[in-house]
Amino acid sequence: MSRLLIALLMTAGIAVAGCSTPQRNVSQAAPVRATTPITKDAYDVAVRNAETQARNDKDACASRGGNAKDICLAEANGREKIAKAEAEAAYRNTPKAREDVREARAEATYNVAKEKCDDLAGNTKDVCVKEADAALVRAKADAKVDRVEADAQKDAAIKQADARQQAAQDKRDADYKVAIEKCDAFAGANKTACINDAKLRFGKS
């Protein structure tokens, strides 16, 4: 099993006890970098494991009550969405898929934060909600900027490769014309042989 798949399964398979620990501020996690894509089978396994772990996590939340249960469920839902987004990013390996991972992390953090705000009241609660809103906006904005930059770099690399390919072809065409011109110094069979040799060297028909 590849290291990447193991990492995905570990992400999807967070222990049930995770509901009792504070939710990580996943929106602040480092951008998801490009890597070798996983197979469709590996992706399917990661998704199934995420769903199984989510069911276990939600079952563990059942023993809780009130807002503590709501927070626990929000954490479970968030972990599932993150794990699935990470599996998708590993499978697709595109800037957009990696942006989706960061958005999933941001939304998971946001949903948990809002649930925790319910334990407060008055202006303190209002401020808590606004801070959660602002954190979500910042995280999504940063993710979008990184995705746009990655897309721009990809487009630039493609254009650069196309330009190199075109330049190489233009050079070969120019050299072929020179070779054909040189053949005019010959006549008869020698000229024919010269032309055929030039066509062979430069891939002309």
Range of the domain at 193: 164-202
The model's pLDDT over 127-161, given as tens digits with 9 standing for 90+, comes to: 999 999 999 999 999 999 999 998 899 889 899 99
Read off the pLDDT band of 33 (50, 70, 90).
low
Collapsing DSSP to helix, strand or coil, 95 comes out as helix
DSSP 8-class letter at 37: P
- If one counts the domains in the chain, the total is 2
59 with 107, same domain: the answer is: yes
- Mean pLDDT, range 170-188, rounded to an integer: 95
Read off the pLDDT band of 82 (50, 70, 90).
very high
* For the chain, counts of helices (H) and of strands (E): 6, 0
Query: What pLDDT is stored for residue 154 in this prediction?
Result: 85
Does position 19 have pLDDT exceeding 60, yes or no?
no
Read off the pLDDT band of 36 (50, 70, 90).
confident
Query: What pLDDT is stored for residue 16 in this prediction?
Result: 35
119 with 174, same domain: the answer is: no
Does position 13 have pLDDT exceeding 80, yes or no?
no
- Cα separation, 101 vs 165, in Å, equals 35
Mean pLDDT of the chain: 86
Read off the pLDDT band of 11 (50, 70, 90).
very low
Read off the pLDDT band of 31 (50, 70, 90).
low
15 with 47, same domain: the answer is: yes
135 with 55, same domain: the answer is: yes
19 with 118, same domain: the answer is: yes
**Helix, strand, coil percent content, the chain, rounded in steps of 5:** 80, 0, 20
112 with 50, same domain: the answer is: yes
Does position 179 have pLDDT exceeding 70, yes or no?
yes
100 with 195, same domain: the answer is: no
- Cα separation, 23 vs 39, in Å, equals 30
DSSP 8-class letter at 205: -
The model's pLDDT over 42-63, given as tens digits with 9 standing for 90+, comes to: 999 999 999 999 999 999 999 9
The single residue listed with the structure tokens 């509901």 is 19
116 with 136, same domain: the answer is: yes
